Amino acid sequence: MKPTILRDRAVTPDGQPLTLHEHDGVFTIRVGTVELMSSRQHHSEERLAELACAGLRERPRARVLIGGLGMAFTLRAALGRLAPDAEVVVAELIPAVIRWNRTPDYGLGADALADPRVEVVEGNVVNVLRDSPGRFDAVVLDVDNGATGLSVASNDRLYSPKGLQQAAHALRPGGCLAVWSADDDRAFADRLGRAGFTVKTERATVHAGGGGWNTLFLGRLPRSR
């Protein structure tokens, strides 16, 4: 049996250990002892990006914000749905995650990050939302295991009424807010609705062929405000 190799370690802004592991070519990122993501489980993240970017290929200079780089599966799927003149901003809080993705030997996100449509912002997506009124056609949030802070406790504010109002403020009329969650969360769906979004949810499998379910929250703003 092949061993699990600790490839690198870092610390989250909350002081929690963040580690990158490899086992037989499969990479995982853990916060403490909790597995945050794996390079073999990414179908639902890809589906999130596909839904958020639906119809944007035909829109001139479409702009998309992705909160959380992860292993770049969400980013790569978004790029596949967008035209050559689109812009994708990726906000990633933890420098080590960006470094791991840019390491060619790991085979994670180096190709997607090299796409000329991509701008990487090292920092909190909350700040990008706050400073970007009416800038984006879609905002995709995949920074935690659901609508609560896990990797960083302060991420809770993203899913609060104020955070959802900031997301709405950063979207153009008709824009989409897409949020990945490991599980369903009716309270969060209700908050989305109260923030002015028309809310839909979709269940998506962890793997393309099955292996459990995640929940995708899709909030759409009216086309005129």
Q: 180-218, pLDDT tens digit by residue? A: 998 899 999 999 999 999 999 999 988 766 678 899 999
- pLDDT for position 34: 87
Give which of 110, 64, 65 is closest to 85, Cα–Cα. Answer: 64
Give which of 175, 140, 158 is closest to 69, Cα–Cα. Answer: 140
pLDDT band, residue 125 (cuts 50/70/90): very high
The residue type found at 83 is A
Query: Exposed, middle or buried, 215 (CB in 10 Å: 0-12/13-18/19+)?
Result: buried
Q: In this model, does residue 176 exceed pLDDT 60?
A: yes
* Span 114-131, average pLDDT: 96
Which CATH superfamily groups domain 41-220?
Vaccinia Virus protein VP39 (3.40.50.150)
Q: Are 83 and 62 in contact (CB under 8 A)?
A: yes
Give which of 37, 39, 224 is closest to 142, Cα–Cα. Answer: 37
Ordered by start, the domain boundaries in the chain are 41-220
The residue type found at 37 is M
Print burial letters for 53-73: b (CB count within 10 Å at least 16), e (below 16). Answer: beebeebeebbbbbbbbbbbb
This prediction has a pTM of 0.93
